[in-house]
Amino acid sequence: MSPIHRRDFLAQLALTTSALALPSLSSGHPATADEFIVTDTAYGRVRGMRQDGVNVFKGIPYGGRVSGDRRFRRSAPLEPWTGVRDALQVGPPAMQAPRRNEPAPSEDCLFLNVWTPANDTRKRPVMFYNHGGGFVIGSGASASQDGANLARNFDVVVVETNHRLGLLGFLYLDELAGPDYAGSGNMGMLDIVDGLKWVHENIAQFGGDPANVMVWGESGGGAKTACLYTMPSAAPYFNKASIESGPGVRMTTKDVAAETTTRLLRELNIAPKDWRKLLDVPAADLLAIQAKLPFVAPFLEKNNAKPPMDRKAGGFGPVVDGVALPHHPFDPKAPAISRNKPLLVGWNEDEYTFFAWERKDTEFTKLTFETLPAKLEPTYGANARNIVDTYRKANPDASAPDIFVAISSITMMGLGSVDIAEKKAQQGGAPVYLYNFGYKSEKKVPGTDYAMGTPHAMDISFKFNNEIMPRDGSAPRESFFGGNRPERFVASRHFAELWTSFARTGKPSLQNGPVWPTYNLKTRPTLRIDTTCTVINNRFADELALWRALGKF
């Protein structure tokens, strides 16, 4: 199995199915409430529940119909309702394989969830989270990203949306279908913008400050956040952002997206002039066709871009259409529209072990320093030996599997994160802060004695402060990725405190920790987040110099 590289990482984000199918925050039935809470919105009254000191509203509609004649278009206007609408269970996720303990996926999926300490006038910072799963799976109802502990312990309001995904969210029809379908290649992103607009209009009723909104997300949610950082329609509705293990530097070009549409029509035996027949194909059939195509479109880097005759079609994700998404998020530079919006960006130290777990890869743990160069040669050719030598010199105590994980993790998530930090710093506007998450889980990659360390997606439960002693005094359960050691509670507290302080002020801080310096091109400070947080200047200097010399970023 070859290592995963930056040009492929967004495709690999679609492999996060298993992690994102953790038990949801709702079984599809109303939970037991300490009491019910009724509040107003611009569209009607909603009834949520108060549980353990947090008001929770699930399944609030923020957009109208996106099925029928609204397929591949902006949603129909949300119709106001009379009386009180229950907001006690999550709404259906976007079309995908069924998700455990959630309603059946549905084409009409524009619902959001809110966690707040109180429906009052406190004007708390709002943390608007974009779920992961590439651009093809996931929802705002995963247990690991339950917002109750952030709301309770840090006095913030948390919002998460469901939005269109895959073919239904990102099929590019602009050149076939005319002005009614303008922006069709970015419907999933424009749904998120509608969610942000709903927050702007309604969050004051939930104790939040519409003038202090942070957008954040992990994995595919990080890439969505990178897109929002670039989109004119999103700009009025948020003030700061965090891109976590999902450095969306480049997105799909129009010509590649158009080729994907042509391929889809061919699969369905629909002539381009008859594209309207797509409106009559059952959503489940479109999902089946989607499964025949690559999960995610090729996100070509400038150093790996292929000539027009060698492009690869297939896959679905945001399209650089010049309007909804005017340009690549961070290529060739940081977006001017968000010049004055502070940014967090970073990655987990051992991203690759998640993908080893997902793909049942145990072979990497058997690598030796004699076999490692051959493992890397299919990707790096004659440079493989030099890469190994550089990493061994920089990490003298690392084993061959450790070196393989380090190379795979930094090329997948690290290089793009550093690229974003550097371009944001070069811009000279609002600050950018670079981090690495490094708490080490003792859990083993299944079938091996190799510890997971800090895998992709492990940060979700940590930053949501969901690695915590149970409030009822019972013994804590083993974390899905984070393991059993009680030290994880400290690392989770640090992560959550940093992110909520950033949401509140635009500057991440720890009450009992080091000052996190703004990233700059002289000292290049990185905060390593663990049970003890540490500022490291010019981290991975030798490794990054190597990748720059090889033209990888």
Catalytic residue numbers, as ranges:
219
HEC letters along 260-301: HHHHHHHHCCCCHHHHHHHHHCCHHHHHHHHCCCCCCCCCCC
Which residue type, as a one-letter code, is found at position 25? Answer: L
Give dist(CA 92, CA 28) in Å, integer: 9
Q: At what angle do helices 400-409 and 372-380 cross, to 10 degrees?
A: 20
CA torsion sign, 432 to 185 to 107 to 199? positive
CA distance 257 to 200: 32
Cis status, amide bond into 508, omega within 30 of 0: no
Q: How many CB atoms lie within 10 A of CB 78?
A: 18
Bridge partner list, 127: 158, 214
Residues whose CB is less than 8 angstroms from the CB of residue 521 and which lie 6 or more positions away in sequence, other chains included: 422, 425, 426
Phi, psi of 343 (to 5 degrees): -140, 135
Cβ contacts of 297 within 8 Å, gap of 6 or more: 252, 256, 257, 260, 313, 314, 315, 316, 317
Q: What stretches of 46-172 show up as alpha helix (H) in DSSP?
A: 148-154, 166-170
Closest CA to 334 of 74, 519, 200, 72: 519
Instruction: Write the Ramachandran bin of 540: left for phi over 0, alpha for psi from -120 to 50, otherwise beta.
Output: left
Coil, helix or strand at residue 116: strand
Can you tell me the distance from the alpha carbon of 181 to that of 150, in angstroms, rounded to the nearest whole number?
39
Q: Look up residue 102 and give its DSSP letter.
A: S
Among 437, 375, 378, 382, CA closest to 401: 375
